[in-house]
């Protein structure tokens, strides 16, 4: 990108400030809005004079908090009360006018240029008289998409795109997918042995991948809005599906509580009968949705029988939300669930299901990306479960679904290999 004029530069690199912005962005999960982090830097000293992030949809944007913190820092500095104290603000702020004249602003996403739930950040930055804005990546929201940068340039502000562009794009993968395809990004995740098994013949799966990979999964869960499993997994494993990391991320007031836990089933009554004490029914630790679809098992017009009604009442009384997927026919069940989760405000949905539901999710295009942890071990066994266990309709090898390889990474000191692949045809 062309820059319109040069501002004084300081010793700390743009990348370092952008890294801090990314850290700030990751402090919240404001879906359906994008996570955004912003820092304001005094170019003469290289010091950060204000920081902010977008805490949740409907709250002010990252730039507003960072500017507000800057006004406070600069006011205090000029009256010799306080040293440069960068404040991370997470409470709603009133957009008080103030001056940040000559300051440099770093932000992960292009500042918005539209009146949404909040006024445009471009106008606030212009009013505050900042001299340079460094942007991680363009806003895919068509209401801004390039016009934010253009507006700043027209006001004589130096605008630069790019440091940590790839990292920032990654931050907006789900947000961008939601905007472009009107559905959340579906990620199928599983761990398998080198011979493609997700458990032994007896069903034991604890654990296929290493502790390092499992920690990585918790970080991934923390970034997703919902985690989906099938009734079979609940029957077999009774998973909690919560994010368990040493550092607490559970700050619901920042829009950063636990992800939604979703179970897909064809009969609430059967699941309730088999697992009346499932960890997922304890909604005090995280919210749970039971997504019920008749999925061809019974006619969609069939009335809920007494047992089904009773189970649903019992689950509701424990705080479980019920999603009736048949209401979204003719969408197939997994797509109906994605539609329901889109309406709920999700940007990224993690499918942590077994091989049967995973097959449906792939067939029905509810999954757009696959994350596989491959453990260097052999399990064997003719009937050991595999990640895509049902029929994909592939008869000849040339009909196999061709995926586009993304990132590959060795986890830890060679414990597992992580492979990322995209189903682009979705
Ligand atoms: C920014 N900084 O921190 C965020 C931005 O509903 P609203 O008014 O909050 O607008 C949401 C849109 O604003 C969202 O789609 C995206 O384009 C932009 N998000 N922009 O300058 C922020 N969160
Ligand atoms: Zn904004």
Question: Which pLDDT tens digit goes with each residue over 149-159?
Answer: 999 999 999 99
Q: What does the pLDDT average to over 309-329?
A: 96
Ligand 1 centre distance from Cα of residue 67 (Å)? 16
- Condensed to tens digits (0 to 9), the pLDDT of residues 185-239 reads 999 999 999 999 999 999 999 999 999 999 999 889 989 999 999 999 999 999 9
Res. 301 pLDDT band, cuts 50 70 90: very low
Res. 83 pLDDT band, cuts 50 70 90: very low
| Ligand 1 probe mutation, 22, 27, 30, 34, most atoms within 8 A of CB | 34
pLDDT of residue 271: 96
Query: Of 51, 63, 352, 364, which residue is the catalytic one?
Result: 63
Res. 84 pLDDT band, cuts 50 70 90: very low
Res. 409 pLDDT band, cuts 50 70 90: very high
Please indicate whether residue 31, judged by its CB atom, sits closer than 6 Å to ligand 1: no
The answer on pLDDT for 52 being more than 90 is yes
What is the atom index within ligand 1 of the atom nearest the CA of 121? 21
Ligand 1 centre distance from Cα of residue 241 (Å)? 29
pLDDT of residue 305: 82
Give me the chain's average pLDDT, please.
89
63 is catalytic: yes
Atom 14, ligand 1: residue with shortest CA distance: 33
Give percent of the chain above pLDDT 90.
76
pLDDT of residue 75: 84
- Condensed to tens digits (0 to 9), the pLDDT of residues 113-150 reads 988 777 899 999 999 999 999 999 999 998 888 899 99
Atom 21, ligand 1: residue with shortest CA distance: 111
Atom 22, ligand 1: residue with shortest CA distance: 61
What is the number of the ligand closest to the CA of 52?
1
C-alpha 258, offset from chain centre: 12
Which of 8-22, 39-53, 135-149 comes out lowest in average pLDDT? 8-22
For every residue of the chain, which 3-state class applies, written as one string?
A: CCCCCCCCCCCCCHHHHHHHHHHHHCCCCCCCCCCCEEEEEECCCCEEEEEEECCCCCCCCHHHHHHHHHHHHHHHHHCCCCCCCCCEECCCCCCCCCCCCCCEEEEEECCCCCCCCCCCHHHHHHHCCCCEEEEEECCCCCCCCCHHHHHHHHCCCEEEECCCHHHHHHHCHHHHHHHHHCCCEEEEEEEEECCCCCCCCCCCCCCCCCHHHHHHHHHHHHHCCEEEEEHHHHHHHCCCCCCCCCCCCCEHHHCECCCEEEEEECCHHHHHHHCCCCHHHCCCCCCEEEEECCCCCCCCCCCCCHHHHHHHHHHHHCCCEEEEHHHHCCCCHHHHHHHHHHHHCCCEEEECCCHHHHHHHHHCCCCCEEEEEEECCCCCCCCCCCCCCCCCCCCCHHHCCCCEEEEEEEECCCCEEEEEEECCCC
What is the atom index within ligand 1 of the atom nearest the CA of 53? 3
pLDDT of residue 97: 65
What is the atom index within ligand 1 of the atom nearest the CA of 57? 9
What is the atom index within ligand 1 of the atom nearest the CA of 33? 14
Which of 108-122, 167-181, 269-283, 385-399 comes out lowest in average pLDDT? 108-122
By CB atoms closer than 10 A (0-12, 13-18, 19+), residue 308 is middle
Q: How far apart are CA 162 and CA 166, in angstroms?
A: 8
Res. 9 pLDDT band, cuts 50 70 90: low
Measured CA angle at 277 (ends 324, 281), to 5 deg:
40
Atom 4, ligand 1: residue with shortest CA distance: 61
Q: At what angle do helices 355-363 and 333-344 cross, to 10 degrees?
A: 80
What is the number of the ligand closest to the CA of 120?
2
pLDDT of residue 243: 85
pLDDT of residue 200: 97
Q: How far apart are CA 317 and CA 294, in angstroms?
A: 22
pLDDT of residue 90: 45
């Amino acid at each position: 990108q062309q820059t319109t004029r040069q501002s004084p530069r300081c010793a700390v690199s743009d990348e370092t400030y952008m890294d801090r912005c990314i850290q700030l962005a990751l402090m919240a999960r404001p879906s359906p809005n994008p996570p955004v982090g912003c820092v304001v830097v005094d170019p003469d000293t290289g010091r950060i004079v204000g920081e902010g992030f977008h805490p949740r949809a409907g709250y002010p944007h990252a730039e507003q908090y960072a500017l507000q913190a800057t006004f406070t820092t600069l006011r205090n500095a000029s009256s010799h009360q306080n040293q440069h104290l960068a404040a991370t603000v997470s409470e709603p702020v009133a957009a008080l006018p103030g001056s940040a004249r000559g300051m440099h602003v770093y932000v992960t996403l292009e500042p918005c240029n539209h009146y949404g739930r909040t006024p445009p950040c471009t106008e606030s930055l212009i009013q505050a008289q900042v001299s340079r804005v460094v942007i991680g990546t363009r806003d895919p929201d068509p209401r801004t998409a390039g016009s934010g940068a253009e507006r700043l340039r027209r006001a004589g502000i130096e605008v630069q795109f790019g440091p940590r562009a790839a990292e920032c794009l990654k931050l907006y993968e789900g947000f961008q997918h939601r905007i472009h395809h009107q559905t959340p990004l579906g990620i199928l995740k599983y761990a398998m042995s080198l011979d493609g098994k997700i458990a032994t013949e007896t069903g034991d799966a604890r654990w296929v991948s290493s502790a390092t990979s499992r920690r990585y999964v918790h970080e991934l869960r923390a970034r997703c809005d919902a985690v989906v499993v099938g009734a079979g997994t609940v029957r077999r494993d009774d998973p909690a599906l919560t994010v368990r990391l040493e550092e607490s991320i559970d700050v619901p007031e920042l829009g950063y509580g636990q992800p939604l836990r979703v179970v897909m089933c064809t009969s609430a009554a059967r699941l309730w009968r088999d697992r009346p004490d499932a960890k997922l029914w304890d909604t005090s630790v995280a919210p749970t949705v039971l997504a019920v679809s008749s999925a061809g098992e019974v006619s969609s017009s069939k009335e809920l029988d007494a047992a089904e009604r009773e189970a649903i009442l019992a689950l509701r009384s424990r705080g479980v939300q019920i999603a009736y997927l048949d209401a979204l026919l003719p969408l197939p069940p997994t797509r109906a669930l994605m539609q329901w989760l889109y309406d709920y405000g999700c940007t990224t949905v993690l499918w942590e299901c077994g091989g049967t539901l995973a097959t449906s999710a792939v067939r029905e295009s509810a999954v757009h990306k696959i994350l596989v942890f491959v453990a260097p071990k052999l399990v064997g066994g003719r009937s050991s479960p595999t990640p895509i266990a049902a029929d994909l309709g592939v008869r000849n090898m040339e009909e196999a679904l061709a995926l586009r390889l993304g990132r590959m990474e060795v986890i830890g000191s060679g414990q597992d290999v992580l492979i990322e692949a995209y189903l682009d045809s979705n």
